[in-house]
């Protein structure tokens, strides 16, 4: 990444320097060209005040040395005088552009290769009072030497600027990439002050995603460990009892007892596997949930009928109160939600206790509440009861047949229906769980 950024910076710098050098050279040439013609014009006006052919040899020598050439031309184009060449051998100048312009407009300018000196020359011509044309020329060799010096200077400055840009680009790239490198090293420990303001939302999002990934990874590891442990316990019991029966060392009563224990362990395995499958389905994003209009009160009555036998077994009374409350939900999931809440309320209740299922509307939203008079939940454990396999009292949970997944399933179903769940509990006085459906 650094190499790409550095190369881009260097390429941009090189292009910018080249473009600036070309623009500077073009501008310099235009200014120089204008200055030369202005100087030739000034010289022409001075020389026009005297006769060119009468100029002393010393002046002509100095003019020639400076690259200046004086030519006097008749109206018909014949050359009367030339400071560098023999005028008698020179061709007619009537059609030269600067002569044509001077005869027509009083002055003319041109730049071309001279046929006599074979050099590129700047020409300025002016018409004198007697109708003749005075032309001043200047060789371009001295001008080109100046331009070449300018090119060398421009290239030198450009090279220095390019080197400076390369150094600055390297430092800037290093500073630019530094926060990203810190993110790569350990994004969790990266402080927001260490990155640019424009990157803070991006860094915050990546950090949160990273934390979520770590959290989910830890949850999966814990889930796998818990599942292995939960499956191992009943499987060990089944294997042990079955081995005793198979060995023929048990009497009739022992065989019946061991078979009963095997049946209990198998049922526990079945409940556990069913709950794991249900959680897996709820976790899957591909699961399509179909919603329909449901009556919470009607579904609560159905749950009451289902819980009749477990409630009698635990000597608990299940009662339904409230009014009709319609929601948009999935029938199987809402049945599962009510059943798990009621099952927990019955399982962790006291002998002679009571479970109350209430339905209705609160603040305009359909509401379901399951309240029991059971053992309650300690305050320090209330935040964790919706975690998978979490049990407040592990020994009691196993004796009552709980898998530790019921409330985790409830939490997922609530999330699937975009509802809210709240829990109020007091140890020894019972628990109340309320689900409010916001849609």
Measured between alpha carbons, how far is 284 from 299 in angstroms, rounded to an integer? Answer: 26
Residue where one domain finishes, among candidates 252, 283, 314: 283
User: What CATH number is associated with residue 374?
Assistant: 3.30.565.10
How many folded domains does the chain comprise? 3
| Residues 99 and 213 both lie in one domain | no
Q: pLDDT tens across 120-136, in order?
A: 788 999 998 888 999 99
| Residues 231 and 363 both lie in one domain | no
Interhelix angle 200-247/141-186, nearest 10 degrees:
30
Measured between alpha carbons, how far is 136 from 48 in angstroms, rounded to an integer? Answer: 10
- Rounded average pLDDT over 237-254: 80
| Residues 296 and 433 both lie in one domain | yes
Output the six-digit token pair for 322.
Answer: 């409230």
Q: pLDDT tens across 302-339, in order?
A: 999 989 988 998 899 999 999 999 999 999 889 989 99
Least confident of 79-93, 183-197, 274-288, 377-391: 183-197
Q: Is the residue at 387 inside a domain?
A: yes
pLDDT of residue 1: 63
- Rounded average pLDDT over 173-197: 64
Residue where one domain finishes, among candidates 80, 114, 145: 145
Measured between alpha carbons, how far is 100 from 211 in angstroms, rounded to an integer? Answer: 86
Q: What is the chain's Cα-based Rg?
A: 51
- Rounded average pLDDT over 135-153: 75
List, in order, residues 6 or more apart from 237 with CB less than 8 Å away.
261, 262, 265
User: What CATH number is associated with residue 53?
Assistant: 3.30.450.20
User: What CATH number is associated with residue 272?
Assistant: 1.10.287.130
| Residues 114 and 231 both lie in one domain | no
| Residues 129 and 11 both lie in one domain | yes
| Residues 319 and 348 both lie in one domain | yes
Strand runs labelled E in 246-347:
292-295, 317-322, 326-329
| Residues 228 and 272 both lie in one domain | yes
Show the domain range for 51: 1-145
| Residues 1 and 140 both lie in one domain | yes
| Residues 236 and 359 both lie in one domain | no
């Amino acid at each position: 990444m650094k190499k790409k950024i550095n190369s881009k910076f260097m390429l941009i710098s090189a292009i910018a320097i080249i473009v600036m050098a070309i623009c500077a050279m073009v501008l310099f040439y235009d200014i120089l060209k204008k200055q030369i013609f202005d100087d030739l014009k000034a010289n022409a006006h001075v020389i026009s005040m005297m006769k060119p052919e009468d100029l002393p040899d010393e002046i002509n020598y100095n003019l020639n040395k400076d690259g200046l050439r004086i030519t006097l031309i008749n109206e018909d184009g014949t050359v009367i005088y030339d400071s560098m060449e023999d005028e008698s051998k020179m061709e007619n100048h009537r059609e030269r552009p600067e002569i044509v312009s001077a005869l027509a407009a009083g002055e003319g300018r041109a730049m071309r290769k001279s046929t006599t000196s074979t050099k590129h020359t700047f020409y300025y011509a002016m018409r004198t009072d007697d109708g003749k044309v005075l032309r001043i020329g200047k060789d371009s060799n001295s001008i080109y030497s100046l331009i070449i010096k300018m090119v060398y200077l421009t290239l030198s400055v450009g090279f220095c600027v390019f080197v400076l840009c390369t150094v600055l680009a390297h430092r800037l790239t290093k500073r630019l990439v530094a926060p990203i490198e810190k993110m790569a090293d350990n994004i969790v420990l990266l402080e927001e002050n260490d990155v640019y303001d424009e990157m803070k939302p991006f860094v915050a999002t990546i950090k949160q995603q990273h934390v979520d990934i770590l959290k989910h990874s830890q949850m999966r590891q814990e889930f796998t460990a818990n599942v292995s442990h939960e499956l191992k316990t009943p499987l060990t019991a089944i294997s042990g009892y079955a081995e005793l029966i198979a060995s023929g060392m048990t009497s009739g009563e022992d065989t019946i007892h061991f078979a009963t224990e095997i049946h209990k362990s198998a049922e526990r395995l079945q409940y556990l596997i069913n709950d794991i499958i249900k959680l897996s389905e709820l976790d899957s994003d591909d699961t399509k949930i179909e919603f329909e209009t449901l009556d919470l009160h009607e579904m609560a009555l159905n749950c009451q009928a289902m819980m009749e036998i477990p409630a009698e077994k635990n000597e608990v009374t299940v009662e339904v109160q409230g009014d009709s409350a319609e929601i948009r939900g999935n029938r199987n999931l809402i049945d599962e939600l009510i059943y798990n809440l009621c099952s927990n309320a019955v399982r962790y209740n006291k002998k002679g206790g009571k479970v109350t299922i209430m339905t209705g509307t609160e603040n305009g939203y359909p509401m379901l509440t399951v309240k029991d008079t059971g053992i309650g939940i300690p305050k320090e454990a209330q935040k964790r009861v919706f975690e998978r396999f979490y049990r407040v009292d592990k020994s009691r949970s196993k004796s009552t047949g709980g898998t530790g997944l019921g409330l985790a399933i409830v939490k997922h179903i609530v999330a699937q229906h975009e509802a809210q769940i709240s829990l109020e509990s007091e140890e020894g006085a019972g628990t109340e769980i309320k689900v409010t459906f916001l849609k």
